[in-house]
Structure 1
Amino acid sequence: MRVVWIGALVSLLMITGCGEKRSPLESALYNQEGDRIGSVTLTEQSDGVEVKVQAEGLEAGPHGIHIHEFPKCEGPDFKSAGNHFNPTKKKHGLLNQKGAHVGDLPNLDVESSGSAKAKLMISGATLKDGQTSLLRKEGTSLVIHSEPDDGMSQPAGDSGDRVACAEITLNSDKDKASDPTDLNEKQKE
């Protein structure tokens, strides 16, 4: 009986990733100058991954926001994040009949104060293992662009420069400042 319990425990650990915490997963969001401007929290759901974004210091209006293929946020242009996350080889755009990339998201609306708070859903994505896992290989990143995504233009929705980036990895929660204003207060000291 003891052997059966040990076997079941080993199987459970293998299935759950040996204790890796994959959900919820929090990542710091940085601007082009390398300042922390917010956070991104990803939570596994039955129909995809929920993304909560909290940010400040952005220009008011709609901004394209996407998951990109590499977990690298090297400023100031964030080109290190690569292209949109597209493991299913679709066309870009939530309005495209041949789309969308797994990494395509609705635009992020930024208030006149420069702050944004949104809850978005990445349908078909997962934080578990698999083809559409945001944590496959080394991970991915979330990028906010300067302009809105038009939902159709190839390859990226004509959404302009990359202005903010968050790395999505199993270790992305190592920078634990609770919100950007807390971090800013600590930097003034």
Structure 2
Amino acid sequence: MPRTEEQNKTIRVERKQQIMDAAMRLFSEKNPTEVSIATIAKEAGVSKGLMYSYFKSKDELELSIMNSTIDEIMEIFLVSNKVIEGPDDFTNRINRLFDHVINNVATWKIYTQLILQSKMKEFLMSPKIQDVMGWYQEQLFNYLQKQGFEDPAKEIIIVGALIDGISIQYVSAPEFIDINIVRNHILDVYAKKC
């Protein structure tokens, strides 16, 4: 009995995810530039030719992984597009982010490796990413302004640098880094009550 169109669609989605999961496993062990399409296909249990029916190139596969990863990370910040309502809400988002880093080291390692590739600059400048980042920065700016910071734009850069820096250090050597030192510092400085 032939499969229905819906079954074919489901299989296609599952197979695509299977390939992305295999690539992510490999990327968590090696730099993506060192992993070939053939290696990814073998890890996913598909032929190289079949892989190309899902992703036209390794770059397209990497962009799909980056898109998926950024969606996952941004959901932590966006919390259903809610504004940051106060220190408790800010604390919740920072805790969710740091917990995500701790519980998803491989994902953050891949994110870090991919985002540092020059070809990702165009992706990061895409309207989707710029819209989301602009919206979130506006919410963070308004929150920090309400908290009494003289230069909220400068503080956004500092918070971002602290998060990026500790994330990179933590995914590189989680056994040697106490990520909670930076988490607690951010909360001590930026989640104080007005």
Q: TM-score, normalised by structure 2?
A: 0.26
Say which one has the larger Rg: 2
Q: TM-score, normalised by structure 1?
A: 0.26
Higher helix share goes to which structure?
Answer: 2
